[in-house]
A and B are shown apart, each in its own frame.
Chain A
Amino acid sequence: GAGVSQSPSNKVTEKGKDVELRCDPISGHTALYWYRQSLGQGLEFLIYFQGNSAPDKSGLPSDRFSAERTGGSVSTLTIQRTQQEDSAVYLCASSLDSVNQPQHFGDGTRLSIL
């Protein structure tokens, strides 16, 4: 595909359940980012992967949030024991490199916690 692909596009789940969100970056992009956009808010940085380096997890809001990137490509964001405040659009982006490179965004996953 030509762009960043995210799945699912929409996810509705009950409070307390675990969810996994997937991101497939643009081929050849070494940097991958996860953001969260809550209603009426700007994008909030969550986590960043660059090549084989240790990820920057400084934006993760709690230990219920975790992310992996396998083989330097696909990434999965996992939210355990979901809470209603986790409801948001989760966006993934990738870039060729990390420093000041344009980030290419996916369509996002709209997560709704009932």
Chain B
Amino acid sequence: AQRVTQPEKLLSVFKGAPVELKCNYSYSGSPELFWYVQYSRQRLQLLLRHISRESIKGFTADLNKGETSFHLKKPFAQEEDSAMYYCVISGAGSYQLTFGKGTKLSVIP
């Protein structure tokens, strides 16, 4: 069974400080990994996916298969980054998404 762990329910950082949202997963095969984000009063939406290897809104995430981690990082946090972030896993070729419980990021001005 696949499982996603986000150890921090709440993370507070000051504006301009680096951010790292932790995510560890459990899956026996080769997973697809995503970060979804929900800003205040907005819908849940895809932020980035590891196969795209892209940077969205300054965020990046590297898949570390040895540590089974997919941490989300940004070098300089902005106030508009305050949101709920979900790490999500899907088995290769699968449609089912398994969500972590989420980390609420609060960026302090």
Residues of A at under 8 Å CB distance from B?
A: 3-4, 31, 33, 35, 40-45, 48, 50, 56, 91, 98-100, 102-107
Contacts and interface: CB of A to CB of B under 8 A. Distances in A.
Contacts, number: 51
Given A42-B99, A50-B95, A107-B43, 10 more contacts: A31-B95, A35-B99, A43-B99, A45-B96, A56-B96, A91-B44, A100-B90, A100-B94, A104-B45, A105-B45
Nearest to A43: B99
A103 to B, nearest CB: 7
23 contacts: A33-B97, A42-B4, A42-B86, A42-B102, A43-B97, A43-B99, A45-B97, A48-B95, A50-B95, A99-B93, A99-B94, A99-B95, A100-B49, A100-B51, A100-B93, A100-B94, A100-B95, A102-B34, A102-B46, A102-B49, A103-B97, A105-B43, A107-B43
A107 B98 CA distance: 19
B49 A41 contact: no
A93 B3 CA distance: 20
A106 B38 CA distance: 12
A86 B48 CA distance: 31
Nearest to A105: B44
B102 A106 contact: no
Among B51, B95, B102, which residue has the most Cβ atoms of chain A within 10 A? B95
B38 to A, nearest CB: 9
A104 B44 CA distance: 8
B86 A98 contact: no
Nearest to B100: A42
Nearest to B9: A40
